[in-house]
């Protein structure tokens, strides 16, 4: 097996990262238009917005098995093909069933890629984990910001509707396929492939470790908050008198603010002697923003958007912790699968629950208060997750190898 050059691997990882959020954030941007066109009630819209976390929780479990059997690079290619086809289906095929089915297929591709990312970084850049994690989470955030802010302007500039807006981002997936196809040509990826460094850990064994559960709860809380905010913030602002374009711009601001955080948080974590301070500071910004939306929903909305953006720094923090809590590529992929799948399963109740709470209460205050309670849980889990240790050190003797 030949070893791929770091330049090609870096390009491939960064292009993949750009594609890990547009499918989700483009949908959030068109929610007001989609509801107006289809008449979807809030609860059903919440179910649609819950698909990402549900898909990530279930489909991500496939990643360690696929990576061990066909190789990590081929697994990425499979994920990107699913992402590309799924976006085309939900854009081109009429009817709500196609919207749900296409979304699920695209999200399945993202779920697998999400799990593989920390392992890819650990495998190819073991000496530069915070740096590469910062780079790919920055590009991931940029992709999300672009989808949130540009979907509606591009859609309307091209004279289309919400379906065109969702389908535009299939092009970036096609571009991302190119370096990964080159990688599987340049490397003789066998059954284990480059991700064969180290041993795959049993998920049921990981479930017996404190490290895995601390990471899963922290990841789940920050994911729940992020998906609720990016799925519902535009609707909250429209309900308070904003136009859908202006509301989508506020979501884009929140995501854009997260871009420098994505670049800064992983290296900051690597250097910090007091990582608990980072956990509390990021979560505190969420709490301030939600309080602002409750007390002054038509007040300094840009400030609330900025604070939300700072709070999203919990995401690169969580991904960096995953890569730092295992010693090898496959062990990291296994820990990533457990953390993200358990975390996303927990997070999946967020968008749907948020919509149900709104339907029951008739305003946004009750769901925002409930979301604030999740942030408090996030703080507790984060304080446990930042304690320095490896998951292998908590495995029972004789455990850890297998599916």
Task: Output the DSSP codes for 175-219.
Answer: HHHHHHHHHHHHS---SS-GGGSS-PPPHHHHTT-HHHHHHHHHH
What's the rounded Cα separation, in Å, for the pair 335 and 118?
A: 9
Whose CA is closest to 327, among 263, 381, 395, 382? 395
* Predicted confidence (pLDDT) per residue in 238-274, tens digit: 888 888 778 878 887 887 888 899 889 999 988 888 9
The phi and psi torsions of 274 (rounded to 5 degrees) equal -130, 70
CA–CA gap between residue 142 and residue 260 (Å, rounded):
10
User: Would you state the structure tokens that stand for residue 156, as one six-digit string?
Assistant: 């309307």
Angle at 385 between CA 379 and CA 390, to 5 degrees: 180
Q: Are 318 and 133 in contact (CB under 8 A)?
A: no
119 in Cβ contact with 332 (< 8 Å)? yes
Give the predicted TM-score (pTM) of the model: 0.79
Dihedrals phi, psi of 387, to nearest 5 degrees: -65, 125
Structural domain boundaries in the chain? 6-392
C-alpha closest to that of 311 among 220, 242, 236, 378 = 378
List the structure tokens of 267.
């290296």
User: Would the pLDDT of 197 be above 70?
Assistant: no
Question: What own/partner pairs with CB < 8 Å and gap ≥ 24 does 91-96 have?
Answer: 91/163, 91/164, 91/166, 91/167, 91/170, 92/163, 92/167, 96/38, 96/40
Q: What is the pLDDT of residues 327-384, one digit of tens each?
A: 877 788 888 889 988 998 888 888 888 888 988 988 899 999 999 999 999 999 999 9
Largest CA distance in the chain: 62
Q: CATH number of the domain at 6-392, out of 3.30.565.60, 1.10.1060.10, 1.20.1200.10, 1.20.1250.20?
A: 1.20.1250.20
Whether the predicted pLDDT of 399 surpasses 60: no
Q: Which residues contact 96 (CB under 8 A, 6 or more apart)?
A: 38, 40
Q: Is the dihedral of CA 242, 248, 253, 258 positive or negative?
A: positive
Q: Give the per-residue pLDDT at 32.
A: 78
Instruction: Provide the pLDDT for residue 4.
Output: 60
Backbone angles phi, psi at 128, to 5 degrees: -140, 40
The pLDDT-based confidence of 196 (bands split at 50, 70, 90) is: very low
Which DSSP state fits 245?
H
The model's confidence at residue 317, banded by pLDDT at 50, 70 and 90, is very high
d(CA 228, CA 242): 19
Cβ atoms within 10 Å of 241's Cβ, excluding its own: 10
For 318, list phi and psi in degrees, rounded to 5: -65, -45
Question: Please, is 58 exposed, middle or buried when counting C-beta atoms within 10 Å of its C-beta (0-12, 13-18, 19+)?
Answer: middle
Asked whether the predicted pLDDT for residue 219 surpasses 80, the reply is yes
Q: Which residues of 137-167 are buried (b: 16+ CB within 10 A; e: fewer)?
A: bbbbbbbbbbbbbbbbebbeeeeeebbbbbb
């Amino acid at each position: 097996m030949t070893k791929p050059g770091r330049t090609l691997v870096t390009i491939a990882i960064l292009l993949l990262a750009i594609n890990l959020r547009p499918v989700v954030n483009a949908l959030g941007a068109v929610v007001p238009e989609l509801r107006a066109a289809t008449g979807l009630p809030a609860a059903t819209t919440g179910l649609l917005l819950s698909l990402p976390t549900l898909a990530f929780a279930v489909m991500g479990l496939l990643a360690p098995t696929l990576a061990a059997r066909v190789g990590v690079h081929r697994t990425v290619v499979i994920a990107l093909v699913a992402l590309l086809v799924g976006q085309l289906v939900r854009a081109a095929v009429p009817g709500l069933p196609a919207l749900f089915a296409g979304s699920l297929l695209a999200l399945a591709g993202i779920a697998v890629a999400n799990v593989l990312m920390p392992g890819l970084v650990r495998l190819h850049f073991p000496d530069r984990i915070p740096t590469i994690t910062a780079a790919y989470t920055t590009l991931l955030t940029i992709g999300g910001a672009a989808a949130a802010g540009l979907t509606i302007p591009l859609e309307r500039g091209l004279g289309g509707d919400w379906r065109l807006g969702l389908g535009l981002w299939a092009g970036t997936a096609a571009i991302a396929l190119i370096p990964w196809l080159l990688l599987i040509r340049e490397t003789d990826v066998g059954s284990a492939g480059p991700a064969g460094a180290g041993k795959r850990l049993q998920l049921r064994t990981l479930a017996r470790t404190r490290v895995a559960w601390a990471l899963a709860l922290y990841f789940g809380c920050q994911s729940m908050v992020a998906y609720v905010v990016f799925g519902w913030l535009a609707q909250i602002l429209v309900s308070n008198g904003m136009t859908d374009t202006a509301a989508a711009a506020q979501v884009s601001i929140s995501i854009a603010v997260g871009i420098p955080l994505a670049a800064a948080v992983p290296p900051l974590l690597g250097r910090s002697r007091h990582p608990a301070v980072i956990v509390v500071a990021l979560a505190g910004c969420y709490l301030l923003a939600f309080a602002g939306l409750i007390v002054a929903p038509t007040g300094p909305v840009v400030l609330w958007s900025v604070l939300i953006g700072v709070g999203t720094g919990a995401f690169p923090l969580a991904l960096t912790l995953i890569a730092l809590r295992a010693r090898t590529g496959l062990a990291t992929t296994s820990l990533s699968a457990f953390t993200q799948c358990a975390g996303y399963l927990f997070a999946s109740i967020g968008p749907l629950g948020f919509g149900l709470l709104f339907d029951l209460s008739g305003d946004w205050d009750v769901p925002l208060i409930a979301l604030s309670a999740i942030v408090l849980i996030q703080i507790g889990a984060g304080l446990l997750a930042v304690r320095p240790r490896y998951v292998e050190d908590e495995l029972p003797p004789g455990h850890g190898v297998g599916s």
